[in-house]
């Protein structure tokens, strides 16, 4: 009888696969109905709130020794501000990937989604029930969202094969990536906390989820309190 032993082994990314460390930006500035956020290409562009700056520092400390080979941000400043501590720690330049910007919210841009949720606007319930953004007038449809995010992921994979990449992005984007990877309902992964870490391994058309909403660097409990999508 053979005495060879076969132990369980830890996951190893396939050769040429790209590890995406998806970081939701830190908490952004509070929204006010009397003062909309400035817009960039039609989308709200708040800066980080003081708590978001702290979250950014903790993300940077968590990832500084994680073997990150490249850093990506979007064209919205809250992602660049969240990435800044990791950029400083690693000396890597942040690459802007515009197609990983947040879901476009049409008439609810500039912070309006937050008070619409707080006030219980009927469209919020419909949006959740139908699991699509474009019940909001002028908002982005799921097909368009899926196409642009998928294109961005494919570009990063092509540019960074076999590498580990920190991607500083937005809650709606993270939800979409994980929904595609798992075949889940469109809104199944909404609610990633600010400053949280999710992890997807991209190997061609195969996307494998390794973690979601990891907040170990932010708090000692299982999660920190989430908030409305921004």
CA 98-100-101 angle, 5° bins: 75
Mapped onto helix, strand or coil, the DSSP state of residue 102 is coil
Helix (H) or strand (E) holding 203: strand 197-203
Q: Is 170:101 a contact under the CB 8 Å cutoff?
A: yes
**79 exposed, middle or buried (CB, 10 Å; 0-12, 13-18, 19+)?**
buried
For 137-151, write each residue's pLDDT tens digit: 999 999 999 999 999
Does residue 225 carry a pLDDT above 70?
no
Any residues with CB less than 8 A from the CB of 37 and at least 6 apart, and which? 29, 31, 44, 45, 46, 109, 110, 111
Q: Dmax over Cα atoms in the chain, in whole Å?
A: 78
For 27-72, write each residue's pLDDT tens digit: 999 999 999 999 999 999 999 999 999 999 999 999 999 999 999 9
Does residue 229 carry a pLDDT above 50?
no
Does residue 228 carry a pLDDT above 80?
no
Cα separation of 105 and 163, whole Å? 33
Q: What 8-state DSSP symbol labels residue 224?
A: -
Any residues with CB less than 8 A from the CB of 213 and at least 6 apart, and which? 191, 192, 193, 196, 197, 198, 223
Does residue 1 carry a pLDDT above 80?
no
**Token duo for residue 11:** 């996951």
Give Cα separations from 202 to 160, 175, 196 (angstroms): 10, 16, 19
N-terminal to C-terminal alpha carbon distance within the chain: 61
Mean pLDDT, residues 98-115 taken together: 97
DSSP β-bridge partners for residue 66: none
**In the chain, what are the helix, strand and coil shares in percent, each to the nearest 5?**
35, 20, 45
């Amino acid at each position: 009888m053979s005495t060879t032993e076969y132990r369980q082994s830890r996951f190893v990314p396939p050769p040429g696969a790209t590890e995406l460390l998806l970081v939701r930006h830190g908490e952004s500035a509070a929204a006010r109905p009397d003062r909309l956020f400035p817009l960039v290409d039609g989308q709200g562009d708040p800066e980080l709130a003081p708590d978001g700056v702290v979250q950014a520092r903790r993300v940077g400390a968590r990832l500084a020794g994680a073997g990150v080979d490249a850093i990506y941000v979007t064209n919205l400043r809250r992602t660049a501000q969240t990435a800044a501590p990791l950029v400083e720690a690693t000396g890597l330049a942040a690459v802007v990937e515009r197609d990983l910007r947040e879901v476009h919210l049409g008439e609810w841009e500039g912070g309006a989604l937050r008070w619409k949720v707080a006030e219980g606007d009927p469209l919020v319930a419909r949006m959740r029930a139908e699991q699509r953004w474009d019940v909001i007038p002028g908002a982005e449809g799921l097909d368009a969202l899926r196409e642009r995010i998928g294109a961005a992921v494919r570009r990063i994979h092509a540019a960074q094969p076999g590498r580990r990449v920190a991607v500083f992005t937005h809650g709606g984007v993270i939800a979409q990536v994980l929904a595609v990877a798992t075949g889940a309902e469109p809104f199944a992964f909404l609610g990633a906390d600010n400053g949280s870490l999710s992890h997807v391994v991209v190997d061609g058309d195969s996307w494998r989820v390794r973690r979601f909403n990891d907040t170990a660097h932010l708090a000692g409990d299982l999660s920190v309190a989430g908030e409305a999508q921004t």
